[in-house]
Structure 1
Amino acid sequence: MIATSERPTDTPDLGSVLRELRRRRGLSQLDLAAAADVSARHLSFVENGRSRPGRELLLRLADRLAADAAQRDTLLVAAGHAPLRPGATGAVVDGIGGVLDTGAAPRDTGDTGSPAASAVEAGRRALLSAGSPAVDTVVVATAAPGRPGRPAAPEVADRLGLGDAAAFDLATVCGGFLYGLANAVGLVASGASERVLLIASDAGAPEPCPPWTTAARQWLAGAGAVVLRAGSADEPGALGTVVLGTDARRAAPSAERLYAASLRAMEAVGWTAGDIDRLAADRGEPEAVVALAGRLNVSAERRLGPAGGSAGLASSLARAAQDGTLAAGHRVLLTAYEGDRTWAAAALRWPRLRG
C-alpha cells in the first residue's frame, strides 16, 4: 500500500477520478459497491482517501464502470499501481476509403452470401490511404443477410489479399459503423490487434430505418472503411470513448438518448458543444439530424452527409475527407441511432491522412 504523501504530485487523486466515473455512469456508491462485490463502507473509504484498493478490486471497479483503457490505467496509477500497458494506448484513424452507389459503383448481383464488391473496394481504398496493406483484423459491419456459415468478413479479407488476418462480421443496422469502431478500439486497446480494417457495407440489406430519401439510399448501398492503428491516446485521430446504448422497450425518446450520448462522448475528450467543427450524424431521417445539430449549435454547413445506414456514415466521412470538407485538426462528433432503440456517439480530432 502506498501512502498519500508518497504519491507524485502530478498523479490524479484516486477518489476524485473514481467519483467522476461513477457520476458519469449515474451510479450511487451503493450501486457500484453492490456491482463490484465490495462493501459500501470500503468504497466510501476509497473515495475519500482513507483506503487504497488492491489491484484486483480496482480492476473490478473499472470493469463495472465500463472504463476504457485510458481511464482504467488512470485509476491504477492514481492508486499507486503500474498501468496494464505502460503509456496510454489509443486506436488512431490511419486511413479511410469509401464508395457511394450512384449506379456506377461496383455492386454484387444475385448472391447475397458473398461480400459486396463495394465493401472490397472501400477496404482497398482505406488500405491505400493508410499507406500499408497490412492489418491483423478485419471487421465488417453489415445489415445485409448472409448464408449460415458464410460471414462476409473472411471473404472480404481474402479478396483484399490479407492472408490469415482475423475476420468477423458485426450484424447491426444504422449504428453498425460506430459499434464496429467500439469493437476495433477494444481490440487495439487490449493488445489483441495492432491494425484493424473496419468496413461498413449494407449492400443487399433491407431498408432498416424508413423513411429513406433517394440520397440516403445511395449511401446505404455504398460502403465505407477505416484503418485503425495502435498509437498514443492523445494524438490526432485517436478515438475517445465510444458511447453505446440500447433501449428495446423504447422507454425514452431516441433523440434524447442520442443527445445525452453525444454529451458523454464530448465530455470524455474535454469538449463542449461549441467545440464541434463537424457533425457526422447517421440516420435516414433528416429531421433528427437537424434537431441534434440545433441542440449542439452546429450550423448546416458543418454537418456531413447525407448519410444513411452504417455504410452511409463511413462513406460520408471518406467523401468529406477527400473533398476537403473534413480536414486535419477538425473536431468531429460521430453519432448514430436506429429504429428508436439503438444509439451511439464518439468524438475525435481528425488526423492528417496520406490520401
Structure 2
Amino acid sequence: MAAHVPDGRRGAVVAGLGSYVPPRVVTNAELCGNRPVGDEWIRARIGVGSRRVADGEATVDLAVRAGRGALEAAGTSRADAVVLATISPDRLLPAGAPEVAARLGCGTVPAFDLASGCSGFLYGLGVAASMIVSGAFDSVLLVASDVFSAFVDPDDWLMAAIFGDGAGAVVLRAGAVDEPGALGPFDLGSDGVGADLLEIPGGGARARKRGAGAAEDPVSAYFRMDGPVVRKQAIVGMCDSVTKATHRAGWALGDLDAVAAHQANQRILDGLAAELGLRPGRMLSHIEGYGNTAAASVPVLLAQAAAAGTLRPGMRVALTAYGAGLAWGSTTLVWPGVRAVTDDG
C-alpha cells in the first residue's frame, strides 16, 4: 500500500472502511416494559427507536470484525500499525490493540489503545494521520469499538435507551495530501474543567486509593452524565470545531455536502445542523436504529453511508465528535471512491 509522494506532499488517505454491530436488537418496547413512558417518548427525547446490544461479545471481538472488514475493503491483509479507540476496554491491562492486531494476522506490528471518550475516533484519525505523514508508517488500521452496554447501570433504563454497541474501522494509507480521501486539517481540543460531566468514576486508581478500606459504591462502576449541560456544550463545541477545520481546509460551511457527527442524541444533531446552517439532509444520522455507540459512532456511520451510496466520490465531508474529557475534534476530506464492508450482525 506504500506510495511514493514528494517531500511535503505526503498525506493520510482513507483506503477502506469496515463496521460491525451485534445481531441482537433491543427495541424501545422491550426496554420500557410496563413503564408509563415508551417508544414515542424515547424517540421524541433522544431519537432512538432501537439499539444493538452485544450478547457474549466484548470490545476486542467487535473490533476484530470491523477491522477485518476495513482491511478487506482496502484490498490488503495487514497494516503497519493498529490503533484501537475505546472507552469500554475488555481489561484495564493490557491494551486491546495488540490482541486485535494478532487476531487479524498483523503479527507484531506496533499496536496501542487510545481513550478520548466519544471523540476517540477523531483523535485516532489525528494520531494515525501524523504517523503516516511523518513517514514512519505507510498504513495504519484505526478501529473504534465500544461495548458500552457493559458500563450502563441495568437499573437505569433511560441511560440504556441512549446507548448501543458497535465497532467501526478505517485503513489509512500514505498518499498525496491533495488527493480524494486525504484527511484535511484537524481541530482537536479539550477542557478538563468539565471532567465530571461524563464519567465512570469507579475502577481506577483514584477510586482504589481514596476508597481504601471501604467498600466501593457499586453504582460507581457505571456511566453517569449531566445530560442537559453536555447537550448545550456539545452543540456549541462541535459547531466551533467544524467551523475551524472547514476554514483551515479553505472551505466555507456552505461548501459542505455532508457532516458525520458523533451520534449522541438526535436533538444534538438537529441543533448542530441548525448552528452550521446546513441544508436539509446534509447531517448524516443513523441514531434511530443504533443509538449512541460511543467512540464507534462516526466510523460505523461512515461505513454504512458509504456502503449505501449516501457518501459519493467528490463530496466535501466534515467529521466531528464531542465527548468525555471533555474532548472534541473535527477534520475534513473530499470523499474518495472507497469500498466499505459492513456487517449488520
Following TM superposition, by how much is the alpha carbon of 1:305 offset from its aligned partner in structure 2, in angstroms?
2.1
Q: Quick check: 1:107–1:116 contact (8 Å CA) kept in 2?
A: no
Asked which structure has the greater CA Rg, the reply is: 1
TM-score by length of 1: 0.69
Letter in 1 for 2:167: A
What is the aligned counterpart of 2:56 among 101, 109, 133? 109
Q: Quick check: 1:334–1:347 contact (8 Å CA) kept in 2?
A: yes
What is the aligned counterpart of 2:19 among 93, 98, 105? 98
Provide the rounded CA distance (Å) in 2 between the counterparts of 1:300 and 1:240. Answer: 24
Q: Report the counterpart of residue 239 of structure 2 in structure 1.
A: 259
Provide the rounded CA distance (Å) in 1 between the counterparts of 2:177 and 2:117. Answer: 28
Q: Report the counterpart of residue 172 of structure 2 in structure 1.
A: 228
What is the aligned counterpart of 1:320 among 291, 305, 309? 305
Equivalences for residues 259-278 of structure 1 within 5 A: 259-278=239-258
| Bigger relative CO (Cα 8 Å, ≥ 6 apart) | 2
Q: Report the counterpart of residue 163 of structure 2 in structure 1.
A: 217
Equivalences for residues 72-91 of structure 1 within 5 A: 86-91=7-12
Following TM superposition, by how much is the alpha carbon of 1:258 offset from its aligned partner in structure 2, in angstroms?
2.1
Letter in 2 for 1:246: S
Structure 1: where are the runs of 5+ without partners?
1-84
Task: Check 1:146–1:354 CA distance in 2 against 1; reply closer, same or farther (3 A cut).
Answer: closer
Letter in 1 for 2:163: R
% identical aligned pairs: 42
SS at match of 2:192: coil
Residue-by-residue CA offset, 1:296-352 (whole Å, 9 max, x unaligned): 222342222235211111101000000111111111111111148221111111110
What is the aligned counterpart of 1:149 among 87, 93, 96? 93
Following TM superposition, by how much is the alpha carbon of 1:165 offset from its aligned partner in structure 2, in angstroms?
1.2
Provide the rounded CA distance (Å) in 2 between the counterparts of 1:240 and 1:200. Answer: 20
Q: Report the counterpart of residue 192 of structure 1 in structure 2.
A: 136
SS at match of 1:133: coil
Task: Check 1:263–1:212 CA distance in 2 against 1; reply closer, same or farther (3 A cut).
Answer: farther
SS at match of 1:320: helix
Q: Quick check: 1:151–1:168 contact (8 Å CA) kept in 2?
A: yes
Letter in 2 for 1:88: R
Following TM superposition, by how much is the alpha carbon of 1:106 offset from its aligned partner in structure 2, in angstroms?
9.8
Structure 2: where are the runs of 5+ without partners?
1-5, 26-51, 196-231, 341-345
Provide the rounded CA distance (Å) in 1 between the counterparts of 2:61 and 2:266. Answer: 28
What is the aligned counterpart of 1:352 among 322, 334, 337? 337
Provide the rounded CA distance (Å) in 1 between the counterparts of 2:170 and 2:244. Answer: 23
Letter in 2 for 1:164: T
TM-score by length of 2: 0.70
Q: Report the counterpart of residue 110 of structure 2 in structure 1.
A: 166
Provide the rounded CA distance (Å) in 2 between the counterparts of 1:267 and 1:211. Answer: 38
Provide the rounded CA distance (Å) in 1 between the counterparts of 2:151 and 2:263. Answer: 15
Letter in 1 for 2:62: S
Q: Quick check: 2:185–2:332 contact (8 Å CA) kept in 1?
A: yes
What is the aligned counterpart of 1:129 among 73, 76, 85? 73
Residue-by-residue CA offset, 1:10-59 (whole Å, 9 max, x unaligned): xxxxxxxxxxxxxxxxxxxxxxxxxxxxxxxxxxxxxxxxxxxxxxxxxx
Asked whether 1:206 is paired with 2:151, we answer: yes
